Amino acid sequence: MKKATAQEARIVRFVLFLSDHKFPLMIYSIGVVHTLFLFLFLYLHVLPMVIFNVFSVLTYVTCGLMLRKPSQLFYVFLTTYIEILLHSLAAAVCIGWQYGFTMYILALIPFCYYMCNNLVEGRKKYAVATLLGFIAFLAFAGCRMIILFRPPVYSLSLSPLFSFFVYMFNAISTCIFMIVFSLIFLLEIHISANKLHVQNELLERLANIDPLTGLYNRRSMQVFLDHAAESGTEFYLAMCDIDDFKKVNDTYGHDAGDTVLKDIAAIMKQQTEGLGYVCRWGGEEILILSNVSADQTHTVMEKIRRSIANHIFICGEKLIRCSVTIGIAAHKSGVSIEDTINTADYNLYRGKRTGKNKVVL
């Protein structure tokens, strides 16, 4: 399993490398292929194609230099497109159809859609890609029509094996080109989907989580409350309020108040893990939905109260002590959520009026 995972990781890294360097690799690869064509046509003594491939190699060297400026990328693509069309047409006219040079024209059609998707903005990308693809198809059909009505300029007397080798080289080159760009295209779709998933998760978190404390916000807590009420089972709501929190803000500043609030939220999340949901209900009020029994709920709230009372909040060089008062109410079938919250709130203020730093059930 580990070997497979490592191998998959290497494949992903390789395809990512291809994606990051796709345009230089494309230009240099086509340039290398044209260099091989140059030697092939020298060997075959087809002078027009020798001259054509000299200019082709120089063209791709220039295109490689143009890639240093991203603004020139579309012009590099058009240059490549035109060169492949003309080269395939010239090869068909000079030596005939049977050597497979026209296959590169067919490879241009998906290539046009891929490049326009990357380089052309807005909806016109589809129109431009379709137009270029249609022109490529017409060029392919035109090459075939030319060969039907006139013989090639050069009548080559090549062995069947050598002719097969040239044809297969062109076929394999075209196939590799299309496979590599298909892999890159699929990978980019996968990367885009992952980015979208991450963005959606972030948006969902922003919509459901209080940014200061990391607790659920009131909107998301309402969903949990509704689900709990619909289940028909008994649960408990604990309304928590930081004692004399205004005094903390007035004495030590709002940054210190934020630190106290975040630390108290962290303590509550830790103590209630697996027992229910914790929400910043508003200001310094925190609402806890407990799915355990009354005794367990009371025990957990007492642990929270003691932990906060014994905790020293460090705000820069300031050491602050705080406490919380907690009111608990049982929610029973037939009672509205608002009434249960009001009961918990009432118990909270009973605790406030009778000395604070206590749990009232």
Q: Single out the catalytic residue among 83, 284, 302, 338.
A: 284
Q: Is the pLDDT of residue 11 over 70?
A: no
**286 confidence band (pLDDT: 50, 70, 90):** very high
pTM over 0.75: no
For 36-56, the pLDDT digits (tens) are: 999 999 999 999 999 999 999
Question: Exposure pattern of 122-136 as b/e (b: 16+ CB <10 Å)?
Answer: eeebeebbeebbebb
| Integer CA distances (angstroms), 307 to 236, 270, 304, in order | 21, 11, 5
pLDDT at 4 over 70: no
What's the token pair of residue 266?
A: 């962290």
Q: 16 pLDDT band (50/70/90 cuts)?
A: low
Q: What pLDDT is stored for residue 122 in this prediction?
A: 81
pLDDT at 288 over 70: yes
Q: Of the candidates 171, 224, 189, 32, which has an alpha carbon nearest to the alpha carbon of residue 114?
A: 189
Across 190-216, average pLDDT:
82
- The answer to whether 91 and 34 are in contact (CB under 8 A) is no
Q: Is the pLDDT of residue 65 over 70?
A: yes
- Distance from C-alpha of 191 to C-alpha of 90, rounded to nearest angstrom: 40
DSSP string, 41-84: HHHHT-HHHHHHHHHHHHHHHHHHHHTTSGGGHHHHHHHHHHHH
**Which DSSP category does 97 fall into?**
S
Tell me if 310 sits within 8 A of 302, measured CB to CB.
Answer: no
196: confidence class by pLDDT, cuts 50, 70, 90? confident
CA 236 to the chain's CA centroid: 40
pLDDT at position 179: 85
350's tokens: 């009973």
Lowest-confidence pick of 30-34, 115-119, 295-299: 115-119
- Decide if pLDDT at 19 tops 70: no
What pLDDT does 85 receive?
93
Structure-token pair, residue 359: 């749990």
How confident is the prediction for the chain on average, in pLDDT?
A: 88
pLDDT score, position 2: 44
Q: CA 342 to CA 230: how far, in whole Å? A: 19
- Give pLDDT tens digits for 97-113: 889 999 999 888 888 88
Q: What is the mean pLDDT of residues 195-221?
A: 84
Lowest mean pLDDT among 206-210, 312-316, 328-332, 347-351: 206-210
Residue with tokens 């080159």: 173
**DSSP secondary structure code for residue 210 in this structure:** -
Rounded to an integer, the average pLDDT of 194-221 is 83
- Domains of the chain plus CATH, in order, are 2-204 (no CATH), 218-360 (3.30.70.270)
Q: Name the 3-class secondary structure at 135.
A: helix
Mean pLDDT on 154-164 = 89
* CB 184, CB 18: distance < 8 Å: yes
Reply yes or no on whether 284 is catalytic: yes
Among candidate residues 114, 75, 113, 95, the one with its CA nearest the CA of residue 170:
95
pLDDT band at 15 (very low <50, low <70, confident <90, very high): low
**Contact predicate 334/346, CB 8 Å:** no
- Taking the C-alpha atoms of residue 285 and residue 213, their distance in angstroms, rounded to an integer, is 12
Please report, rounded to a whole number, the percentage of residues in the chain having pLDDT higher than 70. 95
Beta bridge partners of 320: 313
The answer, yes or no, to whether residue 176 has pLDDT greater than 70, is: yes
Let me know: does 331 contact 287? Beta carbons within 8 Å: no
Residue closest to 39 by CA, chosen among 209, 166, 174: 166
Contact (CB, 8 A) for 167 and 99: yes
Distance CA 116, CA 127 (A): 9
Q: Kindly state the average pLDDT of the residues 122-137.
A: 91
| Strand blocks (E) in 216-354 | 235-242, 276-282, 285-290, 312-315, 318-321, 324-331
Q: Cα(295)–Cα(152) distance, rounded to whole angstroms?
A: 96
Helix or strand run (H / E) with residue 38: helix 22-44
